[in-house]
């Protein structure tokens, strides 16, 4: 989980759709593939990327594999955005104060 891999993972439309779907409820590979315009192996490959990025976890259920969103991974991204946001705001603060006189 190189902490940045998650950004690259979410940068793909298919993977983003998968994450959005898994946010609703945990799902098996076939279920996901049925709602997406790509083949099942493609979904498998994307899930592999998402898993190594720490964004999803999986567990076996018979012949099926149930994937679910990993809240920890999502939280890590959110925290990073929070940092960016806070720093950008403080920059704004400084600028507007400079421009006051």
Partner DNA sequence: ACGAACCGAAAGCTACGACTTACCAAGGAC
Partner DNA sequence: GTCCTTGGTAAGTCGTAGCTTTCGGTTCGT
Q: What are the residues binding a copy of itself (CB under 8 A)?
A: 4, 7-13, 16, 19-20, 22-26, 68-71, 74-75, 77-78, 81-85, 87-89, 91-92, 95
Nearer residue to DNA within complex by CB, 13 or 101: 13
Q: Judged by CB, which is closer to DNA: 64, or 93? A: 64
Residue 71: contacted member of DNA, a copy of itself, none (CB under 5 to 8 Å, by partner type)? a copy of itself
Say how far apart CA 26 and CA 28 lie, in whole Å: 7
Q: How far apart are CA 6 and CA 63, in angstroms?
A: 28
Q: How far is the CB of 97 from DNA (least distance, A)?
A: 23
Q: Is the alpha carbon torsion for 36, 38, 40, 46 positive or negative?
A: negative
Longest CA–CA span in the chain (Å) reads 70
Instruction: List, in sequence order, every residue forming a beta bridge with 67; answer none if it has no partner.
Output: 27, 58
Q: Which does 26 bind (CB under 5 to 8 A by kind): a copy of itself, DNA, none?
A: a copy of itself
């Amino acid at each position: 989980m190189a902490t940045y891999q998650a950004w690259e993972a979410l940068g793909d439309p298919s993977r983003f759709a998968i994450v959005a779907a898994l946010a609703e409820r945990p799902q098996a590979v076939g279920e996901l593939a049925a709602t997406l315009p790509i083949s099942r192996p493609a979904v498998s490959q994307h899930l592999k990327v998402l898993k190594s990025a720490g964004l999803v976890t999986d567990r076996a259920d018979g012949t099926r594999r149930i994937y679910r969103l990993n809240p920890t991974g999502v939280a890590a991204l959110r925290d990073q955005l929070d940092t960016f946001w806070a720093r950008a705001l403080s920059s704004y603060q400084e600028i507007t104060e400079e421009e006051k006189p």
